[in-house]
Amino acid sequence: MTAAEVQYALTYSQTSPFYIRSHIVVPNVHWGLGFNHELDLLSISIPGFIGTEIEIKVSRGDIKRDLEKKHKHYDPRIRQLYFAGPYELSGDFYKYVPEEAGIIVVSNISSGRYQCRIRRKSKVLKQWSKAFTDKEVFQLMRLGNMRYWSLFSKQFRNKIN
């Protein structure tokens, strides 16, 4: 399973806690909101504007490398942190993911259909102190809009070339 498939499952599967009908979800957020690291997925709850970071891992090595990172997923706007990836990594998640982080496993149940299950709920992170402001949520939606049109234009250019 690829990182893109996990992202897709986490946003489009009705079994996902971050289903796009009830959350603002933007992939690969790394500038524009003052984060000191790239967030694989940033989910903002509606209502309340509570932030959740989802770190996507697709291999055991990928999980282990995260432990070596210096940033440690710290930001006062992030209330919860989840690690998500293929069901086959369930044991590795429990072995390497910090105890305060939640675990979500993704299974491909049929062609293009995925199931997401929370295996461990995230604790409220100690550094969390505030929700996102209206201005920050607007900026996130702007970034998501830019990402969408960038991908659309690549597909369009590929089609006409």
CB neighbour class for 158 (10 Å; exposed up to 12, middle 13-18, buried from 19): exposed
Reply yes or no on whether the pLDDT at 11 is more than 80. yes
Domain ranges within the chain, ordered by starting residue: 3-160
E strands in the chain: 23-29, 39-45, 51-56, 78-86, 102-110, 113-120
Reply yes or no on whether the pLDDT at 85 is more than 90. yes
Give the Å distances, CA to CA, from 58 to 3, 17, 22, 80, 136. Answer: 6, 19, 25, 20, 30
- Contact at 8 Å (CB) between 38 and 30? yes
Prior bond of 47 cis (ω within 30°): yes
What is the DSSP pairing of strand 51-56 with strand 78-86?
Answer: parallel
What's the CA gap between 25 and 43, in Å, rounded?
A: 4
**In the prediction, which pLDDT does 40 show?**
93
The two tokens of residue 96 are: 């390497």
What digits encode the pLDDT tens for the residues 97-128? 889 999 999 998 887 788 999 999 999 999 89
Return the residue matching tokens 């979800």.
25
Confidence of residue 68 (pLDDT cuts 50, 70, 90): confident
Confidence of residue 65 (pLDDT cuts 50, 70, 90): confident
Reply yes or no on whether the pLDDT at 133 is more than 80. yes
- Contact at 8 Å (CB) between 12 and 34? no
**In the prediction, which pLDDT does 71 show?**
67
Global pTM reads 0.89
- Contact at 8 Å (CB) between 105 and 90? yes
Arithmetic mean of pLDDT over the chain: 90
- What Rg do the C-alpha atoms of the chain give, in angstroms? 16
The two tokens of residue 48 are: 């309340």
Confidence of residue 64 (pLDDT cuts 50, 70, 90): confident
